Amino acid sequence: MCINITEMTNFSEYLVQEMLRNVLTWDHTSEQAIIILEKNEELMNKYQTFSERKLTKTEECRLRQLIVKTQAIIEFLKTEKEEMMSNINAMNHSQRGVNNYMSSYSDSYFIDKDF
């Protein structure tokens, strides 16, 4: 099967356009960000098979946009991860406090209200 240069160029431009379309549809949730990054990873793997040829101006412009948008998504995910880790650490700290309090009062005490 022979593929000519024009078909390769059209297909690679299509792949870049699809990756850009994916990042532009991001709804600013971490779930959607992960889905987009996974889809774009698959598309990028296909795109890299055409890396030997020269980029078109359109392709170059879209790739620059794709890089900026992808970096924004990655920064968002990093921030989300840091917040989640901070919340987990706070929960662990609270749990340790409860455990320390409970261990110091391990004996059961009953108060008779009819004193």
pLDDT of residue 71: 98
pLDDT band per the 50, 70, 90 thresholds, residue 1 = very low
Closest CA to 38 of 10, 74, 64: 74
pLDDT 10s digits, 61-103 = 999 999 999 999 999 999 999 999 988 888 877 777 666 666 6
Q: What is the pLDDT of residues 25-56, one digit of tens each?
A: 999 999 999 999 999 999 999 998 876 778 88
Q: Which tokens go with 63?
A: 């790739």
Q: Rounded to whole angstroms, how far apart are CA atoms 64 and 15? A: 14
Q: Where does the chain have alpha helices with state H?
A: 5-24, 30-47, 57-104
At 54 the pLDDT is 82
Q: What is the pLDDT of residue 112?
A: 64
